[in-house]
Amino acid sequence: MSKIYIVGMGPGLIEHMTPMAKAALADCDIIVGYKVYIDLLREEFPDKDMRKSGMRSEIDRCKDTLALALEGHTVGIVSSGDSGVYGMAGLMYEVAGEKDVEVVVIPGIPAANTSASVLGAPLMHDYATISLSDLLTPLEAIYNRVDKAAAADFVICLYNPKSKGRPKYIEEARAIVLKYRNADTPVGIVRNAGRDNQSYDITTLEDMLSCEINMFSTVIIGNSQTYVKDGKMITPRGYQNKGIL
């Protein structure tokens, strides 16, 4: 049976590429991915057939990959982060449908977790990840999730916090969280996590909108116990003061 690997390479790509990911790619006849990923992989796999996928839609990329697999090739699609988190894995299963092809997901470190490591230890306890992109999800469902996550004192990790088409959703999300949390609640913003041009701010709900937030950012909002110490954002493992909720 033909085989497709969906390979998450972690946000830093080569520096986060696991032996499992490397072995999967070594097993491929063809590797498909964005130009920047393919260029990085060229050093690891100098003789491999690699295809730069360009800026085609994700559905088209999955269809192209399926077509190659049905020709008999073992194909790998590489993506940054974890392909199972707002990534291509689910889509590839959907596109593959009833076809006679095996789809294998190779996990990678999600952007949320790399971002957390940059900030210190802000996740640590129960957390919720929410994408503010309403391309495929109704905005009211997104805001409802922000509201419920804030109400239940989850650490909140926002993906896709801002883009040109939706500059204000992050402001609304912040306003919702402020219904439940103090204005001095720590907030971490990591831009280009794991990349050469990585940068970050540790700020507060009060001040977060004065920091740069763009489509390459992950925003982590602390829970009621999160604090900042020596420039690190830390969420304790538990509630030492039991009964706080």
Question: By CB under 8 A, what part of segment 132-161 binds a second copy?
Answer: 135-138, 140-142, 144-145, 147-149, 151-154
Tokens 């700020």 locate to 203
What CA–CA distance (Å, rounded) separates 190 from 182? Answer: 21
Q: Interface with a second copy includes 113 (CB under 8 A)?
A: yes
Q: Interface with a second copy includes 164 (CB under 8 A)?
A: no
| Residues within window 59-98 making contact with a second copy, judged by CB under 8 A | 82, 84-87, 89-94
- Nearer Cβ to a second copy (18/204): 18
Q: Which of 40, 27, 101 is nearest to 65 (CA)?
A: 101
Token couple for 59: 């559905």
- Nearer Cβ to a second copy (180/206): 180
Q: How many residues bind a second copy (CB under 8 A)?
A: 73
- Nearer Cβ to a second copy (52/148): 148
- Nearer Cβ to a second copy (20/52): 20
Question: What would the DSSP string read from start to end of 133-177?
Answer: --SSS-HHHHHHHHHHHHHTT-EEEEES--BTTBSSHHHHHHHHH
Q: Which of 182, 177, 148 is nearest to 161 (CA)?
A: 177
What CA–CA distance (Å, rounded) separates 220 from 205? Answer: 10
| Residues within window 218-237 making contact with a second copy, judged by CB under 8 A | 229, 232, 234-237
Does residue 212 contact residue 189 with C-beta atoms inside 8 Å?
yes
Q: Interface with a second copy includes 126 (CB under 8 A)?
A: yes
Among 66, 105, 202, 205, which residue sits at the site for a second copy (rule: CB under 8 A)?
A: 105
Among 2, 10, 189, 221, which residue sits at the site for a second copy (rule: CB under 8 A)?
A: 10
Cβ atoms within 10 Å, residue 135: 9
Among 107, 161, 188, 222, which residue sits at the site for a second copy (rule: CB under 8 A)?
A: 107
| Residues within window 21-50 making contact with a second copy, judged by CB under 8 A | 23
